Structure 1
Amino acid sequence: MRFFSKFFITFIAVLLLPILMVSAQNPPVNPGENLVTEGIPQIPASLAESVNRYTQFRAASLASWHPQRREMLISTRFADVPQIHLVKFPLGSRKQLTFFPERVGGGSFQPTEGNYFIFSKDTSGNEFNQNYRYDLATGEITLLTDGKSKNSRGVWSNKGDRTIYTSTRRTGKDNDFYIINPQNPQSDRLLTQVEGGGWGGIDWSPSDRQFLAQEYISANESYLWLIDTQSGEKKLITPKGGKEKVAYYGGVFSKDGKGLYVISDRDFEFSRLAYIDLATIQHTYLTSHIPWNVEDFDLSDDGKHIAFVTNEDGASVLHLLDTATGKEKPLPKLPVGNIYGVSWHRNNQDLGFTLVSSRTPADVYSLNIVTNKIERWTESETGGLNTENFPEAQLIRWQSFDNRTISGFLYRPPAKFTGKRPVIINIHGGPEAQSRPSFLGQSNYYLNELGVAILYPNVRGSSGYGKTFLQLDNGYKREDSVKDIGALLDWIATQPDLDKDRILVTGGSYGGYMSLAVATKYSDRIRASIDIVGISNFVTFLEKTEGYRRDLRRVEYGDERDPKMREFLLKISPVNNASRIQKPLFVIHGQNDPRVPLNEAEQIVATVKKNQVPVWYLMAKDEGHGFSKKKNIDFQFYATVMFIKEFL
């Protein structure tokens, strides 16, 4: 009997050996020391392997042209986070220059010689950016700011000997202006004090005696000021107190210094390119014939051409304007997508920009306006996948509760998936942002491998559709945007290829609030929800968001110090309606989030757990308002795939 027992145990061990070896070789995915998880099952290595190619997408964006050579700085990621790279010619090698464990937020060459550049970075997503000088000859890096406050990267003088930047160092909440010679950090000094966290620098006058600054109040209200670069004296150039609130975006001095080119929605439903005469403050509008927002522009170094971008139903259109004649010049056709960061080289011929489309990740291009030749400077990797077969966005429209037309973009899965398809509704943040046709990155996995349709709505309050639409969710109208999603659920039910009984709602930041709000109002009509860095209680959010942005958010959401508004905000906050969330919830947040504090995630998780429904929680100790480190992004993706497979 003893012999039989030994024989049997040995026999079983031999049978199990291959299984044990495979198990040892393929342990579950370790979330890592900086990730805290609750309720998330172990993620098998096989899942990580099956989705691996969808985690290998890269992207690149233009940071700065070299002033003397046809070279550029770009931002892209080779390892864990984006860093600054140098590219010396189109499709040339990307030479990495910065090597930090934290992402580096762009860089700008010294504008006359280009022998150094300035870059900024924060710590673990806290957004308290510090500025640094990088000397190209030595690779030496020098800290230029105080190491503690929140700083903007700054704007170069035309002479290239100074920058003006904003910093919260005086009060922790006011964006004062400072001036510095980056080659002499000791020259740093306060230029002028301001009140509020919405101030930013824009441009220096041709003589370097004046500086253009913006005072941002809200998406519908901002003002332009001139600051004397010697004395710091401020002069308001766009008057306050009119019947209608006006927004100004960006600004560039004309080459004679007598005027400004700006973007403004003054006296118009959309934002137009305009010229402001500084002597009379008279506005001359240059794009009134275009019934869409102008969202970006740049003036060539010789002042002869303005490149500008319009947002036409979510797609970017590039334009070239002759400043002498006011007429547009024809340009070659670009792929349908989004164009960002238009920037002239000082040769006045090359226009650089970043372009992203449904089938190509963000990459850097240039257009020579003399030859009309387009050159691609970067070709970001796509994990070896053929993106030409990726689904493209379809513009859809539906009628909301008040008969207002709302629109969005629908990505349908490939034809190989038959029958009614489950749907992910992904709601943008902002709340003034806009979902636009773009490269979906990892989300392509849901389309191509799981057969899930993805719908990106632009509910009321989204930008891109005029300033009236932009204000339709302000203050006491907050929940009208949630009702737009209710109407979208009705629309989905009318589509023969979409499954109204398998819907998941998700979103980040304000979109996180929207996903929670939908989960409270329409819990019986969805399968699950995912809240990423979202607001769960408007009052605690407004009380605890960083001081430099608190008043800016009160303009949008309402002032919680007013008793009537406080009562309303508490009434609509998802955490106070959490008993209605009866479907699985996944909450994702960064510990160092300065915008939506971690408490917003903790309180909704604790409350919804009482409902006896599955609650998954993922928190990163080394992240802020969204994940930026690849290892954290990957784990979030693995867990999200599991969540979708299990509940959708």
Structure 2
Amino acid sequence: MKLDYILFYVLFFTITLYSQEANIISKGIADSIYNIEYPKINTYRSKINFPPFIGWNQNGKKMLFNGGKVIYSMKKYNSEIKEYKEFDNNLSSYLSPNHNYFLYQEDENGNEDYQLFLYDITTNKGKVLSEEGDKSYDSFWSPDSQRFIFKSNKRNPAEVDLYVRGVSDSHDEQLLFSNISDDGQVYDWSLEKNTILAVKVISENNKFLYSINDQSGEIEQINPNKNNIAYSDAKFIPNQNACLIISDEFSEFLQLQLYDLSSKKFKVITSNIPWDIEALTIDKNGKKAAFSINKNGLSQLYILDLKTLKYSKVNDSPEGIIRNLIINSKGTEVGFNLYASTFYRKVFGYNIKINKLNQYTRKGKLLIDTLIFAKAESFTYKSIDPDNKIEYNIPAFIYRPNIESPSPVFIDIHGGPEYQIKASFNSFYQYLVNELGITVILPNIRGSNGYGKSYMKLDDGINRENAIEDVGALLDWIKKQPDLDADRVAIYGESYGGYVTLASLAKYSKRIKCGIDVVGISNWITYLKSTRDYRRDLRRVEFGDERNNNTSVFLKEISPINNVDKIDSPLLIFQGLNDPRVNYKESEQVYKALNSLGKEVWYVLAKDEGHGFKKNSNYLLQRNLTISFLKKHLIY
């Protein structure tokens, strides 16, 4: 018995050690800490997790849901959920309009060099469409499901192009648009007009909208303009020579506009809504449309009559974040997924005819969470620009624990920087709040989107430090709150958020107890030189061109690697070896610099990951080590 135990222990230790050496390199972490697990966090998963809504069947009478290797359907909001189609491969988001095919993409260990595949649901067979090593991705189907468009950098590694090809003929592939940009995308495709609407991204504030003839390949820019314009969507209106466009041309915010394709004139529809239009869907008859707005990180639903261009708000829409907004073909019902801070996902359908919102359930039985989750509350805090003395209201969300004593604080900085963190469900936040008594704060610092184009530009180029000032202002706000412990603050950030984390630790090291940097930027010069070729120009517009001498001096000055001696707080770093966005050496050089100075730094490098830990075993390791790190340095 004792020998069996010893053999088991040796075998277990050998397997564990080999597994670590196979894909994980860790430095500065004691074995006793590395192997700690926190299984109780699994109890903080929301059970309100209805299968995601993905569209409608052909006649628009049934909702369809992604069940992995099954597509489910429901005829009514309280009916039984039934199998619609079953297959052997997990369904992707690129399902063809006739529901006979779907496209999917796979990379190797997070390198984002996606290989494109076509899966035939009718035969349960898949085939490879692109060469290994070519980055082929982001597909868009033609309405008749016979052709599709995809992006690829196979012509030139430094540029991303649009290609079109047929389903049946593997050689029917044509270059459609050269250098559409990595963030460029197709918005719509009309067979009636033989026209594709697509956008090329110069920066988040400057995008070019094009119409492309799918027969001749002729390209025409829509609304050429000397001013920077941001577009977020454009869709043809069936049976009209017009389209709906979402842009910020006439406002601080993204507005819904009617664009006449003949006269080439715009008419603003939502001039009275001072928030971004975030989603748009139009029925096949061109009679009704639905759109949602992003009001301070929460969605509101509207219905639009395309004849009168009058819209009405759906007043009983529940609080949350709307995604996958899709109207049925007849324009009688619009479906969507709803996400919120206190549950994962609900599915709703709004009956336009009778003005009724229904939650989809299994025979009327609601999914219920046994735990009471902390709700994210919105608030703002003041941040003053040190140069012009202008005061800004910085929007944020806060999750508070139910405890009496002042709680430690966990600040999560989003990436981007042109991104907005919203109050969606997060089991890790819920664990921190409910099990460790930590308050979680999610600030949308200057440079975030969702609050107007001027706000998004406030951190561009030489204004980069404005974002760091906002972290300092948040620390000031925390100090004034009686229920928060300003002496126990941790900061966390991924990608650009990792840069903000490192820069904040250097600037406010005595006010921040510890930091966690995930795939963060540490040196702007080496980052811009090493990020993949097809991303570099877009990043230079946002962060500055390191080839310019004055810009280079500034970027060196604000790079955390050049201020690493000011970081006194313990740091935990996570990095993927194959990261095409932020090269792994950005993290490596921070670890080496801090370690050489005798500072406490934990470092985890995953050989089988890229820009973040996506594989479940690696994600669990990241989660467990983060909790152990916080327990040691924040809870104690």
| Same structural fold, with TM-score higher than 0.5 when normalized by the shorter chain | yes
After superposition, give the CA deviation of every residue in 1:388-439 in whole Å (9 maximum; x if it has no partner). Answer: x11111222211123222121111012xx22110000101111011121111
Distance 1:206 1:128, change over 3 A: same
**Partner secondary structure for residue 617 of structure 1:** strand
Match of 1:138 among 123, 142, 147: 123
Matched to 1:422, the amino acid is P
Corresponding residue of 2:552: 566
What one-letter code is carried by the residue in structure 1 that aligns with 2:58?
P
Which of the residues 278, 301, 309 maps onto 2:292? 309
Aligned to 1:67: 58
Would you say the 8 A contact 2:160–2:180 is kept in 1? yes
Query: What is the CA–CA distance in structure 2 between the aligned matches of 1:328 and 1:24, rounded to whole Å?
Result: 69
Match of residue 5 from structure 1? none
Mapped pair 1:386 → 2:338: no
Aligned to 1:181: 166
Q: State the 1:235 CA deviation.
A: 0.8
- SS of 2:310's partner is coil
Match of 2:194 among 201, 206, 209: 209
- Equivalent residues in 2 for 1:94-113 (5 A)? 97=87, 99=89, 106-109=93-96, 111=97, 113=98
| From 37, 40, 46, the counterpart of 1:47 | 37
Secondary structure of 1:184's counterpart equals coil
Query: Which letter maps to 2:359?
Result: E
Structure 1 counterpart SS, 2:561: helix
| Separation (CA, whole Å) in 1 of partners of 2:478 and 2:612 | 29
| 2:138 paired with 1:153 | yes
Selected match of 2:211 from 226, 236, 241: 226
Query: CA–CA distance in 2 between the matches of 1:627 and 1:75?
Result: 24
Instruction: Check whether the contact 1:461–1:469 (CA below 8 A) recurs between aligned residues.
Output: yes
> Residue in 2 aligned with 1:614?
600
Secondary structure of the corresponding residue to residue 251 of structure 2: coil
Paired with 2:16 and 2:437, the residues of 1 have a C-alpha distance of 25
Give, in whole Å, the separation in 2 of the partners of 1:432 and 1:492: 25
Aligned to 1:4: none
In the alignment, residue 199 of structure 2 is paired with which amino acid?
Q
- Once residues 619 and 427 of structure 1 are traced to their aligned partners in structure 2, the CA distance between those partners, rounded to angstroms, is 21
Structure 2 equivalent of residue 122 of structure 1: 107
Tell me if structure 1 keeps the 8 A contact 2:135–2:154: yes
1:190 positional shift: 1.9
Aligned equivalents of 1:620 and 1:351: distance in 2? 42
Give, as a single letter, the amino acid of the residue that structure 2 aligns with 1:117: F
Relative to structure 1, the CA distance from residue 505 to residue 224 in structure 2 (aligned partners, 3 Å threshold; closer, same or farther) is same
Q: What displacement does 1:604 show?
A: 1.1
Partner of 1:3: none
Decide which of 385, 394, 397 is 1:409's aligned counterpart: 397
**Post-superposition offset of 1:93:** 6.8
Which AA in structure 2 matches 1:223? F
Report if the CA contact (8 A) 1:64-1:107 is conserved.
no
Give 3-state SS (helix, strand or coil) of 1:469's partner: helix
Secondary structure of the 2:618 match is helix
Question: Which residue in 2 is equivalent to 1:443?
Answer: 429
Deviations 1:123-163 (A, max 9, x none): 32222233322222221111223333222332222333211
Q: Which of 25, 35, 54 is the aligned partner of 1:36?
A: 25
Contact 2:36 2:624 (8 Å CA) reproduced: no
**1:234-273 alignment runs, 5 A limit:** 234-240=219-225, 242=226, 244-273=227-256
- For 1:363 and 1:188, the matched residues in 2 are separated by 40
Matching of residues 526-565 of structure 1 within 5 Å: 526-565=512-551
Q: What is the alpha-carbon distance in structure 1 between the residues aligned to residue 264 and residue 143 of structure 2?
A: 24
Equivalent pair of 2:317/2:357 in contact (CA under 8 Å): no
Cα distance in 2 between the residues matched to 1:647 and 1:441: 21
Give the structure 2 partner of residue 642 of structure 1. Answer: 628
1:7-18 map, 5 Å: none
Structure 1 residues 120, 239: closer, same or farther in 2, change over 3 A? same
Q: TM-score, normalised by structure 1?
A: 0.88
Residue 413 (structure 2) aligns with: 427
Calculate the aligned-residue CA RMSD, in Å: 3.0
Contact 1:501/1:526 (8 A) holds in 2: yes
Cα–Cα, structure 1 residues 378 and 134, in superposed 2: closer, same or farther, change >3 Å? farther
Q: Secondary structure at the match of 1:520?
A: helix
Deviation at 1:557, TM superposition (A): 0.3
Report SS of the residue matched to 1:164: strand
Q: Does the CA-based 8 Å contact 1:155-1:164 persist in structure 2? A: yes
Q: Equivalents in 1 of 2:54, 2:26: separation in Å?
A: 36
Alpha-carbon offset, residue 267 of structure 1:
1.9
Question: For 1:59-90, what per-residue CA distance to the aligned partner results, in whole angstroms no more than 9, with x for missing partners?
Answer: 854444443575666557xxxxxx56422226
Contact 1:162 1:179 in 2 (8 A): yes
Q: 1:99, CA displacement in angstroms?
A: 4.8
* Partner AA of 1:320 in structure 2: I
Partner residue in 1 for 2:388: none
**CA 1:519/1:126 → structure 2, altered by over 3 Å: closer, same or farther?**
same
Q: Is the 8 A contact 1:40 1:639 kept in 2?
A: no
- Aligned match of 1:599 in 585, 588, 593? 585
The CA deviation at 1:34 is 2.1
Once residues 55 and 612 of structure 2 are traced to their aligned partners in structure 1, the CA distance between those partners, rounded to angstroms, is 25
Q: Please list every run of 5 or more consecutive structure 2 residues that lacks an aligned counterpart in the other structure.
A: 386-390
Give the distance between the partners of 1:150 and 1:407, measured in 2 at CA: 37
Indicate conservation of the 8 Å contact 1:336/1:357, yes or no: yes
- Summarize the Cα distance change of 1:483–1:192 in structure 2 as closer, same or farther, 3 Å threshold: closer
Question: Matches of 1:166 and 1:257 in 2, distance apart?
Answer: 29
| Alignment partners' CA distance in 1, 2:239 and 2:409 | 55
User: Which digits, 9 at most, give the CA deviation of each residue in 1:449-476, with x for residues without a partner?
Assistant: 0000000001111111111111000000
Q: CA deviation at 1:255?
A: 1.0
**Residues matched between the structures, number:** 616
One-letter code aligned to 2:137: S
Kindly provide the CA deviation profile for residues 211-231 of structure 1, in whole angstroms up to 9, marking residues without a partner as x. Answer: 111011111111111112122
Contact 1:473/1:480 (CA < 8 Å) preserved in 2? yes
Question: Offset of 1:349 from its aligned partner?
Answer: 2.8
TM-score by length of 2: 0.90
Contact 2:60 2:328 in 1 (8 A): no
1:193-214 Cα deviation digits (max 9, x unpaired): 2364343222123425221110
User: What is the CA–CA distance in structure 2 between the aligned matches of 1:574 and 1:508, rounded to whole Å?
Assistant: 15
Q: Deviations over 1:563-587 (max 9, x none)?
A: 1111111110111111111111011
Identity across aligned pairs (percent)?
Answer: 36
**1:234 is aligned with what amino acid?**
I
Task: Report the AA paired with residue 126 of structure 2.
Answer: I
Shift of 1:46: 6.6
CA contact (8 A) 1:152 1:166 kept: yes
Partner of 2:359: 375
* Amino acid across the alignment from 2:407: R
Residue 137 of structure 1 aligns to a residue whose secondary structure is coil
Which residue, 557, 570, 574 being the options, matches 1:584? 570
**CA 1:432/1:262 → structure 2, altered by over 3 Å: closer, same or farther?**
same
CA distance in 2, matches of 1:601, 1:73: 43
State whether residues 476 and 568 of structure 1, in contact with CA within 8 Å, keep that contact through their aligned partners in structure 2. yes
TM-superposed CA distance for 1:52, in Å, is 3.6
Distance 1:215 1:610, change over 3 A: same
Task: Work out whether residues 365 and 377 of structure 1, in 8 Å CA contact, stay in contact via their aligned partners in 2.
Answer: no
Partner amino acid for 1:139?
N
Question: What's the secondary structure of 2:170's corresponding residue?
Answer: strand
Task: Provide closer, same or farther for how the CA distance between residues 330 and 306 of structure 1 changes in structure 2, counting only shifts above 3 A.
Answer: same
SS at 1:185's partner residue? coil
1:512, 1:384 → 2: CA distance? 36
Between the aligned partners of 1:401 and 1:21, the Cα distance in structure 2 is: 64
Q: Is contact 1:63–1:107 with CA below 8 Å preserved after alignment? A: no
Tell me the amino acid that sits aligned with residue 374 of structure 1.
Answer: N
User: 1:47/1:205 Cα in 2 relative to 1: closer, same or farther (>3 Å)?
Assistant: closer
One-letter code aligned to 1:270: F
